[in-house]
């Protein structure tokens, strides 16, 4: 029996609203911000939550880096890699690794520098 259930994944970032808006553009859903803007929650379709927390000294992860951890990444399933790539780039993502077009995934960074993958499903 599980000891707990996953509540929410929280990303540190310099601008929680901007990052929540980016992921709302990618995943859909509803953005709700605390009054002071230090915490923003995205409720994605299906009931999952992704939250964003202000971190004034935020340093983005390095990817790839043999001497630094990427910390974590999100795998986002998409039906059309090429179309999804164009959309996330238009929303502010940057390409980290998309050269090998034969693989069923590509790696990007969100506007705060967190890596994420678009994965063909």
Tens place of pLDDT per residue across the chain (121 aa): 876 688 899 999 999 999 999 999 999 999 999 999 999 999 999 889 999 999 989 988 887 777 766 677 899 999 999 999 999 999 999 999 878 888 999 999 999 999 999 999 8
User: Both tokens of residue 80?
Assistant: 């059309």
Do domains 7-57 and 59-121 share one topology? The answer is yes
Global confidence as pTM: 0.89
Per-domain residue ranges of the chain: 7-57, 59-121
Class of domain 7-57: alpha beta
Alpha carbons 55 and 88: distance in angstroms, whole number: 23
- Give the CB-side neighbour count of residue 118, counting CA atoms within 13 A: 26
d(CA 58, CA 12): 7
Task: Name the class of domain 59-121.
Answer: alpha beta
d(CA 64, CA 115): 10
The alpha-helical segments, DSSP class H, found in 1-121 are 16-27, 81-91
- Of 88, 83, 75, give the one whose Cα is nearest residue 119: 75
């Amino acid at each position: 029996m599980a000891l707990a259930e996953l509540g929410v994944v929280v990303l540190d970032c310099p601008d929680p609203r901007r990052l929540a808006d980016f992921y709302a553009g990618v995943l859909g859903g509803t953005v709700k911000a605390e009054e002071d803007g230090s915490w923003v929650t995205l409720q994605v379709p299906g009931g999952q939550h992704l939250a964003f927390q202000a971190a004034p000294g935020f340093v983005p992860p390095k990817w790839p880096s043999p001497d630094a951890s990427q910390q974590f990444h999100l795998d986002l399933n998409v039906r059309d890699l090429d179309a999804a790539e164009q959309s996330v780039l238009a929303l502010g993502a940057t390409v980290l690794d998309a050269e090998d077009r034969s693989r069923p995934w590509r790696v990007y960074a969100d506007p705060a520098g967190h890596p994420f993958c678009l994965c063909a499903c």
